Amino acid sequence: MTETRTLGFARTLLTLLTAALVALLYGGPAGAVAPAAGGAVLPAADVAVATVVGRVADVQRLDQHGYVARLEVERLVGGSLLNSRVVRIAWEELASARPPRFRERDRILVVLSAFPNASIWRGRLPEAASDMNVLGVAAAGDAFMAAPGAPTLDALAVYLALPAASRTDRDGATALAHLAATAPPALATLAVVQLDSIAGLDAKLSPAAVDDLRRILTEGHDPIIQRAVVSLATQHRLQALRPTLNEQARTGSPLEAQAVEALAALDGGLSLDRVNALLKRRAPAVRAAAIRGAPANVSEDRLATLLRRDPSPLVRAAAVDTLLRIYRERAVALVASALGDGDASVRTAAARGIGNLGAAGVASLLAANPQVPPSTAAGMILALDSAGQAGSQALRDLAAHHPDEQVRVLARLALGQAPGHTH
């Protein structure tokens, strides 16, 4: 598992997670404060002074943005405190039009960190320099969760009690899978991100971890965490989840399309009969999944027809990806037509896919479109910009010699030059 792939997985999940958090935190009535979902808790807790549960008391405003309160600690979930019963916590509220995130008698899970020496808090709270029981809310004040349930706390405590080396082994995978099955969606999704960072995950899943991941897929969990687990199974080829994925790859399942792609990853592709059957379905996401999972003997003409005629951009983009995956530069002439597709996602898929072929893709693209027609110039330039040194040379040629001024300007912009640049 490469670092690049891991980061891509995490960014995908965090995009979903951010949308959920925005809805939770800011989607309520004006002036209301929605409970925090806990999306910053797990990464912050890995390096924090302490993670605790307690009741908020004596909330005080120090200045325009700074707040401090007393926290009556009920439970130490991770880390350590000098005084395990009461600490003072500090945080900032940058959205001054809203009430502070913590109110009197709120029960919260909060991750606490020490203030850096140069922090503005040294001026706000001079005692913070010497009093180890004056701590900041980690992750710029976002590492907290309102009204945490006992199952979530128990699962988080088990994970945080593990030595660092064990967090990436079988024990860590077991603890994270249970946290994913137990916690609210934002914290659960971060647990799946942590699972994704474990190398050789398939061999490190205990029966208990497998059971927890199965429960997520079958017992009505939040769709965000369900999709995250299917993505995890796809990326890590989690064979133990095959029976559950087969159940989900059925007509009418909300996870059908993603489960089909996961099964294709586990098997190195779908059978041609399965692809043909799925292509008869009306759901675009299912047809697109079938195309992405198509085996190497799928007809080039069939894919080209889908690229030209299917009404769904999901299907057309999938046809682009599969044509280039199987037929490589031989398919560039067909895929080049998609550079003028009416949907931006299809144009982007074609440009990035051709660009990823490097010099061979550049040669095939220019051979098929030697004049670089203005109608597809933007897509071709994006493809060339993605193709490394060979693409850069082609862009320089276009910027200097193409007869259409608009094409020359686009090529110069791709090269980072001002529109009027001529050298």
Topology classification of domain 49-142: OB fold (Dihydrolipoamide Acetyltransferase, E2P) (2.40.50)
Kind of pairing between the strands at 107-113 and 50-61: antiparallel
Domain parsing of the chain, residue ranges? 1-26+150-236, 49-142, 336-423
Q: What does the mean pLDDT of the chain come to?
A: 86
User: What is the per-residue pLDDT across 329-343, written as a single tens digit (0 to 9) for each?
Assistant: 999 999 999 999 999
pLDDT recorded at residue 370: 86
Whole-prediction pTM: 0.79
Percentage of residues of the chain with pLDDT beyond 90: 66
Burial of 295 (0-12, 13-18, 19+ CB in 10 A): middle
User: What is the per-residue pLDDT across 267-302, written as a single tens digit (0 to 9) for each?
Assistant: 999 999 999 999 999 999 999 999 999 999 999 999
Instruction: Convert 11-49 to b/e letters by CB count within 10 Å (16 or more is b).
Output: eebbebbeebbeebbeeeeeeebebbbbbbbbbbbeebb
Does residue 62 have a pLDDT over 60? Answer: yes
The overall longest dimension of the chain from CA atoms, in Å, is 76
The region of weakest confidence among 59-63, 131-135, 142-146, 404-408 is 131-135
Does residue 95 have a pLDDT over 50? Answer: yes
Residues 6+ apart with CB under 8 A from 302: none
pLDDT recorded at residue 117: 62
Q: Tally the C-alpha atoms within 13 A of residue 215's C-alpha that lie toward its C-beta.
A: 13
The region of weakest confidence among 8-22, 88-102, 294-308, 406-420 is 8-22
Q: In 3D, which of 144, 134, 173 has the Cα closest to residue 52?
A: 144
Burial of 4 (0-12, 13-18, 19+ CB in 10 A): exposed
Average pLDDT over every residue of 162-191: 94
Higher pLDDT, 220 or 342: 342
Does residue 33 have a pLDDT over 50? Answer: no
Distance, CA of 169 to CA of 174 (rounded, Å): 9
As given in the structure block, the two tokens for residue 90 are: 């500090």
Does residue 6 have a pLDDT over 70? Answer: no
DSSP element (H, E) containing 75:
strand 66-79
pLDDT recorded at residue 128: 60
